[in-house]
Each structure stands twice: as C-alpha cells, then as structure tokens.
Structure 1
Amino acid sequence: MAKLIPPAEWAHHKAVWIGFPSHAELWLDDIEPARAEVVAFASAVHADGAGEKVILVAADADAADAASKLAPFADVLLEPFGDIWLRDTGPIMVSKTEARLFGFNGWGGKYDLPGDDTIGERLAKSRRIEAEACDWILEGGAIDGDGTGLVVTTEQCLLNYNRNPGLGRDDIVQRLKQDLGFSQVIWLGNGLLNDHTDGHVDNIARFVAPGRLAIPEGAENDPNWRVYQLAAERVRFSGADVELVRVPSPGRILRDEEIVPASYMNFYIGNASVVVPIYGAPDDEAAVAAFAEIFPTRNVVGLRADHILTGGGSFHCISQQIPG
C-alpha cells in the first residue's frame, strides 16, 4: 500500500488551527497588538465564511475569553500550550482523518515550555483524528511538500546535532519516506539569519504548485541575500524536476537595532485567501503582487505581522491546516 503523503497546503481545508497569544509573561507589551494581528489573519482566512473554519487555540480561560470577544467568527479551543507555534508543535496531517505526531524538544532545547510537547496529541484528539507517534524530532516548519512526494528542507535544521544527534542524512531521508511518504528530498543549506528555529525552510522556500518552488531574491544589502542565492543553486543542482520562482524579500528588518528573521515566505495558503506577512518594508506591495500572480484564483492579502514576529515567527508558523 502506498504511503500517505501530507496534502499540499493549497489542497482543500476543512479547518485550520491558529495559535492565540496567551501568556503575557512571554509577549509582554506585544501581547495585545500580536492578538490583533492574529485575529486579522484569522479573519482573512475565514473570509466571511467563504474560506475555512478557524479554530483559535488558547492556552487558558482568560485568553479563550479574549479570543471569543475579538473573533466571534471563530471557534475557540482551550488547550494549554507553551506558545502559539502550532506549525511546529501540532500534528502533521497526512489525510482528512490521519496524522503523524513527532517529538518536540523546544527547537533544540532553546525554549522548554510546558504543554508544547503534548499539544499535537491533544489537538488530534479534539478532532477525533487518528494520530501515529513517530520516534524522532521534527517540526512542521522544517519541511514543505508539494503533495506529490517531493519535499524541501534545510541541513541547518534537520541535520542539527540538537535535534536527532544519532541520525545522519540517510537516516533522516529514510524516516521522511517511512513516516510521511515522501519520495524525494531537496536539501537546502542554511535558513535566515537569527532564526531561532535553526533555519526552518518555511522562511526561505515554499512550494506554490506541484514541482514549483518559490525562493526570495534579495539585494546585496539584504542580510539573507546569499542564503537565498545558495538555496536556489541547491535546487538547480538537486536533480529534482522543479521550476524556480523568485519573489521579493523584505530585506533588512530591525527591531531594537537587531536584525530579525522577517520573511514574506511565511505566508499561509487558505481555501479562499493567501495571507502574506508584511513589515512596512519597501517591497511589501511588490511581494503581495508577486503572490497574486502565483495564486490567481485566491485573494492575496498582505497583513502586518510585526508583533507576531517578536515571538519569532509569522502566519505560517502559528497555523496548522486540517484537510477537508
């Protein structure tokens, strides 16, 4: 029997889980504006009922109450978690009713927060999804597939000693094939500068159609321009039958004089909308226009994600779709 493969993100969704900022001690002054950005994202995905059901996941009763008031269009699920990055901690769906659960160690031991290592199992149970546990560390943002068996990832993350120190490249490839049904792995090198996930691929390369991969193209003052160039070269020499699409980069985005891992690639593909994070950068409009050309049948929306980014990610990072 053929292995189940995670459906491509552009396949139809029954619903989507979205993490709702819940812990004031983590978000500090950013919690309220981050909640507003999350609700704006959720609203764009819901699209007045034309999109998909939105399930906001809140970690405590106060956050659940706030989510219900701010987003009356959404369902609210109260499940304790450490933080909102459900792309990494949630179940990886391989069909409408089946998922895979992987170990989670706080992105290599950086952030050990209660509930993050079990939220995936609890989310699956909340939807009566059959979930199979896999005995190695893998975050959803570390891989991106096109629904045909092709997957892209980075060496910086999947081969990092802080994830699966006993597994080499061949072992990882075998497990990606065994547990998620992938047939071909494209290995990129590093991810974005200052990305605490150790180079998650969903910030630098995303499939936008079967065999069609988008990668940013930055100017030389972009702190990640060389990362993008090397990623594109890796794809060209991978032997995979892949069409490259180059899109804009937000360039150098600073917070408190530090470069932050801002990326337009952390977009979310919903049933009706594609939601692109923007940052007040000169290429914001050009990025939205580029994705509008890539996804002509969906409404492409650019929404500010500055405050979500203070936690380390953006719209793709906080969401996990449920196939429909």
Structure 2
Amino acid sequence: MNRRHLILTGGALGLMGWSNRSASQPDLGYFVPAEETRHQRTFMQWPSSRRVYWDAAHLEDTQQAIADIANAISAFEPVVMLASAAEHASAKRKLSPSIELWGIPTEDLWCRDSGPVFVVNDSGQLAIRQIQFNGWGKKQVHTHDARIAGRVAEHLDLPLLPSGLQGEAGGVEQDGHGLLMAHESSWVNKNRNPGLSRDQIETRLLAAYGADRMIWSEGVWGEDITDYHIDSLARFTGPGRVLMNLPDEPDMRDPFHLAALDTHDRLAAEGLQIEVIPEPHSPRIKDLDFVAPYVNYYVCNNGVIMPEFGDIETDPLAQDAIARHYPGREVVALNVDVLGQSGGGIHCATQQMPAI
C-alpha cells in the first residue's frame, strides 16, 4: 500500500481547459498568499477508492487519520471535506459536527496535490489556479481527483485560471513573497510536462503563483510516486527562511538523502536562512519505505498541525523548532503514521483557502 511503489492504471486525465468560466480571462495580478496568512477555511478529501485502497482495514485506518487531522484543524478554522454523497454518512461518524461535507467525489486524500490552489489579487478578488492533476504522471487512478479543482471552482462560482502545467502543488513551495522552490523531478518530467523545458515550466509556475524568482534542485526521478515532492523536505516559514528535516547520518547510497543534501546546499548558496531538524531516529514504523517528515505540517489560523513519530528525542526537537518558527500559534502533534506508510503527511492532505 506504499505510494513509493503504487502503480495503478486506467485513471482518466482531467481536461486542461475545463472550467465554469472562460479560461481566457486575464489573471489580474493573482498570487498565492503565504500559508501562514489568515484562512477562510481548509479543504480536505475523503479517501474512498477501493482501486487505491485494496485492503479494507488500511482504508479504515487512513480515513480515521484524515478525520483526526480535520478534527484538529476544525478547532482553529472551518474545514470542508470533499466526498461523494454516498460517503457522507460514514464520514460523519468520524468527523466533528462542525466539519462541512460537500458532495464532490474523490478517490484519494491528497488535497494538496489534486485540490484547488487559491489565488488572490490586491483588489481582494479570489480565484482558483488550475495546475492539472494527472495522478502523479498517470501512476494512479484519478477520474474524480483530476476534476476536483474545477468542481470546487464551480461550487464557489470562482474563476478557474489555467496554468498550462500538469503537476501538484505539493511539488512546489512558495513563501507568498515572490520566491518558489521545487525539485526538477516533480515538474521537468515527461510524465507531467512533456515537451516543456525547465525554463518554460519555471515561467508558468512563476505566473501561476504570482512569484518572480525560483530555486531549483534536482530531486529524484522514478523512485516514489511523487518524484520527490519538496514539501516533505523543506518548507518556507517566512520570507527567506526555511525549515528542513535531514538525516543526522545520511546514507550516501540513498538517492533521497543525496538529493536532500543537494537541495540544502542550493538553498544555502542562494542566501536563505535555513534551520535543520533531524529526521526521527527511532520512529514507531521501522519500514525503510516509511516517510517521516516533520516539516510536512499544516499552518492554520492560530495553530500548526504537525506529525509525531514516537521518537522521544526528535519529536520534541521538531515541535520546539516549529513553535519557534510560528510564534503565538498552538502546535498540535498527531500520530498519522498510516499516511507515512502511504508516502505522505499532513500538509499533503490539506489545502488552504485564504481569507479576503
């Protein structure tokens, strides 16, 4: 059930131009605000597809983890859970009564990747940017998930603005002040953007996020379903400031460790202020494919929802670091090991709608 090795066929590619409004309307200076700015609500997706979750017990555990995250966030801001109408009754048994269910069908839970990317402009107008999800390069079924952004735009009667890109928001980090960072492997890849050069993809990403500068590092091609999303390695916590998790003792035979060190060096060479926290030394899950990124947290109104992995040494170090980077916010640590077994985390499961 690990996303690093999950290959499913038959997913339908969503239409690049599908929209409830004309895709040709001007962008009007839209940009993606920093995640730590005020939110109107959080969007999440209910995992439901038995083509993705063959094992019923694993699906049950995953749904409970998603409910735990949603319930924690709902203490700080409104949460909308996207799910087909047929799933609402069972979802309600796990979700806080305050969580709103919308009848938008989903297959999987990764709202950071397949959900709406909200943009705003200086006039206070809100829109959704269409970075077309294609199942991480057609690796997983995505008949419904490829259409979530458009369906949310239709539900909210918002413009759906094209980016000309296939990919996932989890594959790029933005500080809300004009700077992006990403791994080439998640974007400059024939499984997502065939025929486009890195420069062309960069131009489109900068336009999509309303940014003016981008830092690339190589990443890792073909070793996990995401082609190494950067949000499990490094996060902006403010302008020019980055929090990263790295292994204390890197394995120089591990392509992910090598890529992580390369990303660190490239960010440092660009003059960014970087704080490094260790990956867990002794997590509850010992599987080598288990993903345990402390930085895959979610910043919500007055709070930060982060993972803990059962390591009595590194869990407190990570929590202290996150609290320092987000002063005045309550830090809530959750056991979401089942998501790590599937190759993701809390940030991967969430998508913010900024307040205007």
Structures share fold, TM-score greater than 0.5: yes
The amino acid that maps onto 2:45 is G
2:336 aligned with 1:305: yes
- 2:294 aligns with one of 264, 270, 276: 264
- 2:69 aligns with one of 26, 34, 41: 41
Query: Residues 235 and 166 from structure 1, CA distance in 2 versus in 1: closer, same or farther, beyond 3 angstroms?
Result: same
Query: Residues 87 and 17 from structure 1, CA distance in 2 versus in 1: closer, same or farther, beyond 3 angstroms?
Result: same
TM-score, with normalisation over the residues of structure 2? 0.83
Quote the offset at 1:133 in angstroms. 2.3
**Structure-1 separation of matches of 2:163 and 2:222:** 30
**Mapping of residues 1-324 of structure 1, within 5 Å:** 3-27=29-53, 28=55, 29-47=57-75, 51-61=76-86, 63-71=87-95, 72-95=97-120, 97-190=126-219, 194-220=223-249, 224-238=256-270, 241-251=271-281, 257-282=287-312, 283-324=314-355
Quote the offset at 1:316 in angstroms. 0.9
Please say if residues 191 and 200 of structure 1, whose CA atoms lie closer than 8 Å, have aligned partners that are also in contact. Answer: no
Please say if residues 43 and 351 of structure 2, whose CA atoms lie closer than 8 Å, have aligned partners that are also in contact. Answer: yes
Quote the offset at 1:38 in angstroms. 1.6
**Structure-1 separation of matches of 2:62 and 2:158:** 30
Instruction: Work out the percentage of aligned pairs sharing the same amino acid.
Output: 31
Query: Residues 221 and 230 from structure 1, CA distance in 2 versus in 1: closer, same or farther, beyond 3 angstroms?
Result: closer
- Local SS of the residue matching 2:163: strand
Aligned length: 318
Cα displacement string for residues 73-92 of structure 1 (whole angstroms, at most 9, x for unaligned residues): 21111211221111111121
Provide the aligned C-alpha RMSD in A. Answer: 2.3
Quote the offset at 1:170 in angstroms. 0.9
Quote the offset at 1:191 in angstroms. 5.4
**Structure-1 separation of matches of 2:145 and 2:320:** 36
**Structure-1 separation of matches of 2:250 and 2:155:** 46
Please say if residues 70 and 79 of structure 2, whose CA atoms lie closer than 8 Å, have aligned partners that are also in contact. Answer: yes
Query: Residues 281 and 256 from structure 1, CA distance in 2 versus in 1: closer, same or farther, beyond 3 angstroms?
Result: closer
The amino acid that maps onto 2:92 is S
Quote the offset at 1:235 in angstroms. 0.7
Quote the offset at 1:284 in angstroms. 1.9
Cα displacement string for residues 155-181 of structure 1 (whole angstroms, at most 9, x for unaligned residues): 111112211121111111111223322
Runs of 5+ in structure 2 lacking a partner? 1-26
2:18 — aligned with what? none
Please say if residues 217 and 266 of structure 2, whose CA atoms lie closer than 8 Å, have aligned partners that are also in contact. Answer: yes
- Local SS of the residue matching 2:347: coil
Please identify, of 149-158 and 125-134, the stretch whose mean Cα deviation from structure 2 is larger. 125-134
**Structure-2 separation of matches of 1:287 and 1:227:** 21
Quote the offset at 1:143 in angstroms. 0.8
Please say if residues 3 and 178 of structure 1, whose CA atoms lie closer than 8 Å, have aligned partners that are also in contact. Answer: no
Please say if residues 5 and 148 of structure 1, whose CA atoms lie closer than 8 Å, have aligned partners that are also in contact. Answer: no
**Structure-1 separation of matches of 2:108 and 2:235:** 24
- Local SS of the residue matching 1:81: coil
Runs of 5+ in structure 1 lacking a partner? none
